Chains A and B, each alone.
Chain A
């Protein structure tokens, strides 16, 4: 027998005496330890399900993107209240010729957002990025507006100016009126004489 492996005395009788001579952990203690042992295995079970949950997450993300792409491609429905609440100037802008729309195409060609969480109402209002893109094409739009102004009759143009003023866009109305006066000098005076 190797040194240290021999038994200096028989431990059996001593163990029996020790076993008969003590208490034991409480049931509450037993429950706590067994619960801890069960909890410790929970992450192990979780790891087993990780690939499944990952695949489910990827599938869900793909579905959401697809839904968003199809949703952004569909035209936003315009309600009757939208038409009624639109200012006259906007109504006039909507009647702009195709040239103006063509010049604004770069903005329209921007890729749709991957996840557009805006409400239908806010979608109808230009998003900040979209507004920026629109402002970037403003010179082209202005040219289109100028050519549009030139193609209008003085009566139509003046009516549009009055509509601007009525809607509160006074500065634009004044600027437009100045352009109108330079384009049709004396027309306004004669018009006012005819319609006092």
Chain B
């Protein structure tokens, strides 16, 4: 697995002193990681802080990095830990708090192809964002680690300190709620 994990290879090259490898590694993962953190902390300024802290930890841990798992698994674990540290410092928010929903929906900025398509796509994005924000925190974390971070159920269970069945259950509930919120715009399994 390690041989095919291009991100892990880039990280190893960076630990050996190749800064270009880090630039490529960052480019490959910056957007996904930022989205992940943005949807977890739900605050623009805090997202920047947590995002930077996460990469600082990656940089600081380069000497101890061993490719025992996929790089993204390691990266999103660090990101999740950074989010939890942020919550501890700032005081954990209520799981169903939705005061930032509109602001989160406003971050939907993917290109579209035409005014009608734009409107439909924007609506779907806004719905997803709001639906994610309304998910219980445990389910949202599990869903984002799975869908965005690419972690397996076992890895999510380990990272969140639960059993595999609990992690799987959270994922199923999360998807059910998201499908319900998105209606026809929801992805088909």
Question: Total A-B residue pairs with C-beta atoms closer than 8 Å?
Answer: 120
How many chain B residues touch A (Cβ–Cβ < 8 Å)?
A: 50
| B51, A29: Cβ atoms closer than 8 Å | yes
| B147, A40: Cβ atoms closer than 8 Å | no
When C-beta atoms are compared, the residue in chain A nearest to B170 turns out to be A8
At the interface, yes or no: A118 with Cβ under 8 Å from chain B?
no
| A17, B187: Cβ atoms closer than 8 Å | yes
Q: Mark A3-46, 1 if CB is under 8 A from B, else 0.
A: 11111111101111111111111100110111011101100110
Q: Which residues of A contact B34 (CB under 8 A)?
A: 22-25
* CB contact list, B59-108 vs A, under 8 A: 59-60, 62, 107-108
* CB contact list, B115-166 vs A, under 8 A: 121, 124-125, 128-129, 143-144, 146-148, 150, 152-154, 157, 164
When C-beta atoms are compared, the residue in chain B nearest to A28 turns out to be B48
| A11, B146: Cβ atoms closer than 8 Å | yes
With A11-B146, A11-B150, A19-B35 as known contacts, state yes or no: A34 contacts B22, CB within 8 Å: yes
Q: Which residues of B contact A18 (CB under 8 A)?
A: 35, 128, 144, 147-148
| B110, A33: Cβ atoms closer than 8 Å | no
Q: Which residues of A contact B22 (CB under 8 A)?
A: 34, 37
- CA–CA, A107 to B175, complex, Å? 95
| B164, A3: Cβ atoms closer than 8 Å | yes
| A40, B52: Cβ atoms closer than 8 Å | no
With A22-B39, A33-B55 as known contacts, state yes or no: A14 contacts B187, CB within 8 Å: yes
Q: Which residues of A contact B175 (CB under 8 A)?
A: 8-9, 14
At the interface, yes or no: B31 with Cβ under 8 Å from chain A?
yes
Interchain Cβ contacts under 8 Å between A and B, 13 examples: A5-B153, A6-B153, A8-B172, A10-B187, A14-B178, A19-B31, A20-B125, A24-B34, A25-B31, A25-B51, A32-B52, A34-B26, A36-B59
The 4 closest A-B pairs by CB, nearest first: A4-B154, A13-B187, A4-B164, A22-B35
Residues of A within 8 A of B (CB): 2-11, 13-26, 29-30, 32-34, 36-38, 40-41, 44-45
Further pairs besides A9-B172, A14-B187, A25-B51: 14, Cβ < 8 Å: A8-B168, A8-B175, A11-B146, A14-B147, A15-B148, A21-B108, A22-B107, A25-B48, A30-B26, A34-B26, A37-B19, A37-B59, A40-B60, A40-B62
